[in-house]
Amino acid sequence: MPSVDLSEVKLRDLNAALHRLPEDTNETHWSILNPGGKHSIACGVDLPVTIEVAGHVGYYCGGMNCRATIIIDGNAGAGVAENMMSGEVHVKGDASQSAGATGRGGLLVIDGNASARCGISMKGIDIVVKGSIGSMSAFMAQSGNLVVLGNAGEALGDSIYEARLFVRGSVASLGADCVEKEMGREDRAALDAVLGRADITDVSANDFKLYGSARRLYHFHVDNADAY
């Protein structure tokens, strides 16, 4: 198993080595030591390898991830797994702002809390936060599922399009055009599937409420014609 100590190896050299791996590589399990909060660790990986990071990471860890499984044994700075395409990023501690921002696919699991703007502009990613999320989360969320076992901060789902937001605890307030919705069979199946992929078995889908778009904001209404 390749082991890279970031107190000795340059971050660019690590990321370049990950990008150079051939499709049939045998180096499928990487260990990264002493991340020291450095930014952009394991960004842009495009192979089904597992990368374990022992410690806290800075901004954008696992950004643009494609197919890789990235496990962070610590906290993550802003923009963890931003624009993830597929694969999985697992943060064992807390995540800072904009976790999973603009993500198009894959699964982001955060064992602790995520701060403001979690899932901002998410476009298909599934995000599971076992703790609570901060304000303005899922702002302009377009598709995908955000599952929160704890509470949500103010202005959840402001200007939301078609993502599903499942929250088990309280919601401080809903943003513009975000409403509580009845959980239909498809919604429940989606929630069960995400909980299953995140290996969460001790929580019932019945305990969640579903929030989504009232669809008043992004559909043109003829009554507003004079405003243009």
CB 132 within 8 A of CB 112: no
Q: Minimum distance between the CB of residue 7 and another protein, rounded to whole angstroms? A: 10
Nearer to another protein, 38 or 123 (CB): 38
* CB of 158 vs another protein, minimal distance in Å: 12
Q: Which is nearer to another protein, 77 or 212 (CB)?
A: 77
Report the nearest approach of another protein to the CB of residue 64 (Å).
21
| Cα separation, 185 vs 115, whole angstroms | 30
**Beta carbons within 10 angstroms of residue 115's beta carbon:** 18
β-partners of residue 126 are: 107, 145
Binding site for another protein (CB under 8 A): 36-38, 55-59, 75, 77-78, 93-94, 96-97, 115-116, 134-136
Contact 98, 115 (CB under 8 A): no
Residue 45 vs 116, nearer CB to another protein: 116
Q: Which residue, chain included where needed, has tokens 């055009």?
A: 177
Token pair listed for 86: 């597929």
In the complex, minimum distance from the CB of residue 136 to another protein, in angstroms, rounded to a whole number: 8
Nearer to another protein, 58 or 144 (CB): 58
